[in-house]
Amino acid sequence: MADNEKKIHNVVIIGSGPAGWTAGIYLGRANLSPVLYCGAQVGGQLTTTTEIENFPGFPEGRDGPELMMDMEAQAKKYGTQIVYDTIKSVDLSKRPFTLRTEDSEFQAHSIIIATGASPKMLNLPGEKTFWNRGVHTCAVCDGSFYRGKTVAVVGGGDSAMEEAMYLAKLCAKVYVVHRRAELRASRIMADRALATPNMEFLWNSTIADVIGDTSGKFPKTTGLILKSTVDESTREVAVDAMFLAIGHTPNSAFLGGQVEVDDAGYIVVNEAQQTNVEGVYAAGDIHDHVYRQAITAAGFGCKAALEVERFLARQGVTS
**Active-site residues: which are they?**
138, 141-142
Query: Can residue 288 be called a binding residue for ligand NAP (CB under 6 A)?
Result: no
Which contiguous run of DSSP H or E holds residue 206? strand 205-213
Angle at 17 between CA 252 and CA 69, to 5 degrees: 155
Rounded to a whole number of angstroms, the minimum distance from the CB of residue 222 to ligand NAP is 21
Q: Which of 179, 192, 220, 227 binds ligand NAP (CB under 6 A)?
A: 179
CA distance 74 to 28: 10
Q: Which of 43, 126, 156, 299 binds ligand NAP (CB under 6 A)?
A: 156
Query: Can residue 64 be called a binding residue for ligand NAP (CB under 6 A)?
Result: no
CA distance 122 to 216: 25
Residue 73: C-alpha distances to residues 24, 79, 106, 268, 291 (Å): 10, 10, 25, 30, 26
Query: Can residue 133 be called a binding residue for ligand NAP (CB under 6 A)?
Result: no
- Looking at beta carbons only, is 18 or 24 nearer to ligand NAP? 18
Site string for ligand NAP, 26-55 (x = CB under 6 A): ----------------------------x-
Of 62-70, 101-109, 180-188, 300-308, the segment contacting ligand NAP by CB under 6 A is: 180-188
Rounded to a whole number of angstroms, the minimum distance from the CB of residue 193 to ligand NAP is 12
Residue 265: C-alpha distances to residues 19, 47, 114, 211, 238 (Å): 18, 23, 14, 31, 36
CA distance 251 to 113: 10
Query: Can residue 206 be called a binding residue for ligand NAP (CB under 6 A)?
Result: yes
Query: Can residue 227 be called a binding residue for ligand NAP (CB under 6 A)?
Result: no
247: region left, alpha or beta (phi > 0 left; psi from -120 to 50 alpha): left
Other beta carbons within 10 angstroms of residue 77's beta carbon come to: 11
Q: Please give the single-letter amino acid code of residue 231.
A: D
Of 9-17, 125-133, 193-201, 245-253, the segment contacting ligand NAP by CB under 6 A is: 245-253
- Looking at beta carbons only, is 80 or 251 nearer to ligand NAP? 251
- Which residues contact ligand NAP (rule: CB under 6 A)? 54, 122, 154-160, 162, 179-180, 184, 186, 206, 245-248, 292
